């Protein structure tokens, strides 16, 4: 595997997005620390969604030095490593080894999150910067400063900005969900208390879903009415099921809900909607 070093003298092209979350920085950090990547990176346009991750060393994520392979919806991958993780304040990581053809001009990427206090500490301004080191032997990196300018204006401020806005929206929604449980690898959750993976998800309010997972960003279930209704866990359904699978509903008579079952998926992450 090709290794990369981040040097202070590296000239980087970057783009930033930010959002306001009505929770203190410490709470936002606790809710997002160790969150499943496929739960917060939905993809946008020609930039594919994350479908799963696989550890590449023995360091638990998200501790500094933890390394994992990131798997994308189009079959491509990249390597990610945590650089720094300061509770309630800052998180950074590097990404390299992209297999996407569109990422060939990129040597590496560096992502940074700042959890900035707002409204007298009762809210958080989350700032996300993504910086890229371009390869000097490929276009547009070979053009030096002008190449970085082109890369920023043509790609980062357009397609990649749309992708980052979409991901930031998903991150905000993830953080604001009620009764959010610690994510996998979160130090708040003891190892023996980690929830078991399950092939079941209590999700649908109405039976009759026939939407193949992965074909739509929203999982929908068709009930007695003519219009589709949102599944109670629509944001998770397509990420927790094996690609291309269909859910199977079984009525739960006493509760009036349904049990939605999915085939096991090797990339499934624990989630508070799982039924153990």
What is the structure's pLDDT at 2?
A: 73
Geometric angle at alpha carbon 220, from 217 and 221, rounded to 5°: 165
What is the structure's pLDDT at 274?
A: 35
pLDDT for residue 222 is more than 60: no
> pLDDT of 122-165, one tens digit each?
999 999 999 999 999 999 999 999 999 999 999 999 999 999 99
Q: How many Å apart are CA 238 and CA 225, to the nearest integer?
A: 23
- Looking at the DSSP bridge assignments, the partners of residue 67 are 81
What is the structure's pLDDT at 1?
A: 61
Q: Is 141 exposed, middle or buried (0-12, 13-18, 19+ CB in 10 A)?
A: buried
The answer to which of 3-12, 38-47, 127-136, 245-254 has the lowest mean pLDDT is 245-254
What is the structure's pLDDT at 246?
A: 45
How much is the average pLDDT of 179-192? 51
How much is the average pLDDT of 226-255? 40
> pLDDT of 31-52, one tens digit each?
999 899 999 999 898 899 999 9
Q: How many Å apart are CA 70 and CA 109, to the nearest integer?
A: 13
What is the structure's pLDDT at 53?
A: 96
Domains of the chain plus CATH, in order, are 13-176 (3.30.530.20), 195-261 (no CATH)
- The answer to whether the pTM exceeds 0.75 is no
User: Which uninterrupted H or E stretch holds 180?
Assistant: none
> pLDDT of 54-105, one tens digit each?
999 999 999 999 999 999 999 999 999 999 999 999 999 999 999 998 899 9
Q: What is the pairing mode between strands 77-86 and 67-72? A: antiparallel
CA dist list (Å): 275 to 189, 266, 271: 18, 17, 9
Q: How many Å apart are CA 268 and CA 144, to the nearest integer?
A: 42
Residues 71 and 267 sit within 8 Å (Cβ to Cβ) = yes
């Amino acid at each position: 595997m090709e290794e990369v070093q981040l040097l202070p003298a590296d000239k980087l092209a970057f783009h930033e997005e930010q959002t306001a979350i009505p929770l203190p920085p410490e709470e936002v950090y606790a809710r997002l620390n160790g969150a499943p990547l496929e739960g917060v990176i939905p993809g946008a346009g020609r930039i594919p969604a994350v479908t799963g991750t696989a550890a590449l060393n023995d360091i638990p994520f998200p501790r500094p030095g933890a390394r994992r392979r990131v798997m994308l919806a189009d079959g491509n991958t990249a390597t990610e490593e945590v650089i720094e993780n300061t509770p309630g304040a800052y998180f950074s990581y590097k990404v390299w080894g992209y297999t996407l053809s569109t990422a060939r001009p990129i040597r590496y990427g560096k992502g940074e999150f700042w959890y900035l206090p707002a409204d007298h500490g009762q809210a958080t301004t989350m700032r996300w910067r993504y910086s890229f080191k371009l390869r000097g032997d490929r276009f547009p990196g070979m053009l030096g400063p002008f190449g970085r300018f082109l890369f920023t204006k043509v790609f980062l401020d357009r397609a990649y900005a749309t992708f980052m806005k979409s991901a930031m929206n998903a991150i905000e929604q993830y953080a604001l969900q009620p009764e959010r449980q610690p994510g996998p690898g979160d130090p708040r959750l003891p190892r023996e208390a980690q929830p078991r993976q399950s092939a079941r998800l209590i999700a649908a309010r109405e039976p009759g879903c026939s939407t193949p997972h992965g074909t739509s960003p929203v999982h929908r279930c068709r009930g007695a009415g003519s219009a589709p209704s949102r599944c109670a866990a629509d944001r998770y359904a397509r990420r927790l099921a094996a690609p291309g699978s269909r859910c199977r509903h079984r009525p739960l008579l006493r509760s009036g809900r349904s049990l939605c079952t999915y085939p096991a998926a090797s990339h499934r992450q624990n989630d508070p909607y799982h039924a153990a």
